[in-house]
């Protein structure tokens, strides 16, 4: 258990308001992943079961379209990605590639199930936080799509970095 990792989780919206023992449990269950610059955390279409908490580095979220890769957004240290895997259990909807050497923590559905068995209230809080984060990202995407539809922005190079 690392106090630095626990502090990282405390600052993230999806872990907001969780008790210190819950954060310590999650950090204790998390697995570390190191990824070199240019390497993939996962690709679009891969099976999904983990959320990644980026401890260091920078990543880009990439979607394939007509034999091209389009960058949807970038994330840095303290951000999370892959959280949809904990909700819908569907294949990855986009890929995530490291732009710099990265270090991340992985938490999976099994880790959350262990929390559910131990403390259903804290589990429910994480689920609500995940729903809030997904809703925030969906609202930003909806706004972006609306602006493109009404011509307030050009469609040539969409920038979803606010997502």
**Alpha carbon distance 87, 137 (integer Å):** 14
Mean per-residue pLDDT for 15-30? 93
| Per-residue pLDDT, 22 | 95
Alpha carbon distance, N-terminus to C-terminus of the chain: 31
Half-sphere exposure of residue 98: CA atoms within 13 angstroms, side-chain side: 20
C-alpha to C-alpha distance for 72 and 64, rounded to whole angstroms? 10
Stated pTM of the model:
0.84
pLDDT at 155: 52
Which one, of 147, 109, 154, lies nearest residue 127 by Cα? 109
- Residues 55-111 have pLDDT tens digits of 999 999 999 999 999 999 999 998 999 998 888 889 999 999 999 999 999 999 899
Pull the structure tokens for residue 55. 């401890």
Least confident of 2-11, 19-28, 129-138: 2-11
56-74 per-residue burial string, b: 16 or more CB within 10 A, e: under 16 = ebbbbbbeeeeeeeebbbe
Element spanning 68, H or E = strand 68-76
């Amino acid at each position: 258990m690392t106090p630095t990792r626990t502090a990282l989780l405390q600052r993230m919206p999806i872990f907001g308001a969780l008790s210190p023992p819950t954060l310590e449990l999650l950090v204790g269950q998390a697995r570390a992943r190191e990824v070199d610059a240019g390497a993939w955390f996962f690709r679009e279409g891969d099976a999904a079961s983990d959320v990644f908490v980026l401890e260091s580095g920078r990543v880009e979220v990439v979607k394939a379209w007509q034999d091209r890769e389009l960058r949807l957004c970038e994330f840095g240290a303290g951000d999370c990605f892959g959280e949809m895997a904990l909700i819908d259990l569907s294949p990855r909807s986009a890929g995530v590639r490291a732009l710099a050497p990265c270090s991340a923590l992985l938490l999976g559905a099994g880790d959350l199930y262990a929390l559910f068995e131990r403390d259903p209230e804290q589990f429910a809080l994480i689920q609500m936080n995940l729903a809030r984060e997904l809703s925030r990202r969906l609202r930003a995407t909806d706004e972006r799509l609306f602006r493109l539809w009404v011509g307030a922005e050009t469609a040539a190079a969409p920038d979803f970095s606010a997502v």
